[in-house]
Amino acid sequence: MTRVSLPKRAEGHDRPPAIISPSILSSDFARLADECKRMVDLGADWLHVDVMDGHFVPNLTLGAPVVASLRKHTDAFIDCHLMVTNPELWVKDFAKAGADMYTFHLEAAAGPSPDDWHNLAPDSAHQAVVDMCHGVKAAGMHVGLALRPATPVELVVPYIEQGLVDMVLIMTVEPGFGGQSFMADKAAKAAVLRRRFPDLAIQVDGGLAPSTIDRAAAAGANVIVAGSAIFGATDPGAVMRQLRESVTTAATSGKAPH
């Protein structure tokens, strides 16, 4: 499987282009292929797949077989967020299924106990996380590294500096269920990364909607995940355009992310 190139930052922009990635967790699963086609036709850039194992997070959703079935019906970029305890177990399955982005949690890859990652120094790379990044790239997928709301953003810096990570996912809700309220203070993590890494893809996921997008955009996010705000809208296309416009406006404002 050959990785699809991620879009590059244009001159005069402080980040790569806006990418809208509707979360199919909020779709009608009985009509999944049709729902995904509708989103792409209305302007979605990616399709976001929330994978939960009922252990790392208190919910159970879908896995590689559903991604494989979906791949037969779409050429869209499939953006998979693995909220699972042992992300290393599923790399080959998702690569074979046709996933383009494999985003795993730093907390899960660093070890089963919070002590395994809470005690990490911001300037040190955990070998298990490094190995995961290499494994995902070797399988032909882009590497995404996700952080729960309480995890310090500085812990991802060593992996970015080593060129191991294509995207960082900042969670602005506790992972596990859709429809939660946006944690505005957590979006500030994106600003920390954007100031240091203008070419990095930074994804924000959790409670994003027209009413909250400006905060995430101002912080430097360029990849926007929204579920209920898009799928539950009367005009999903209009919502996606509003999300995109907010990011694009912030990217060209000349103001430092905050």
154 and 192 in contact (C-beta within 8 Å)?
Answer: yes
Residues annotated within a binding site for substrate: 23, 81, 176-179, 207, 227-228
Amino acid identity of 74?
T
139 and 91 in contact (C-beta within 8 Å)?
Answer: yes
Mean of pLDDT values over 12-23 = 97
Of 14, 45, 50, 100, which one is the catalytic site residue?
50
Of 53, 79, 166, 205, which one is the catalytic site residue?
205
Chain centroid offset of residue 14 CA: 19
Q: What confidence tier does 176 reach under pLDDT thresholds 50, 70, 90?
A: low
Q: What confidence tier does 136 reach under pLDDT thresholds 50, 70, 90?
A: very high
Convert the pLDDT of each residue in 24-65 to its tens digit.
999 999 999 999 999 999 999 999 999 999 888 888 899 999
Question: Which has the closest alpha carbon to 154: 132, 125, 111, 183?
Answer: 125
Residue 177 has pLDDT above 70, yes or no: no
Using CA atoms, how far apart are residues 31 and 158, in angstroms rounded to an integer?
A: 41
More confident residue, 233 or 172: 233
Q: What confidence tier does 182 reach under pLDDT thresholds 50, 70, 90?
A: confident
Locate the domains of the chain by residue range. Answer: 19-251
Domain 19-251 architecture = Alpha-Beta Barrel (3.20)
Q: Is 205 a catalytic residue?
A: yes
If you search the block for the tokens 């400006």, which residue do you land on?
214
Q: What's the CA dihedral at 245, 249, 250, 252 to 10 degrees?
A: 140
Residues annotated within a binding site for a divalent metal cation: 48, 50, 81, 205
Q: What angle do CA 247, 229, 32 make, to 5 degrees?
A: 110
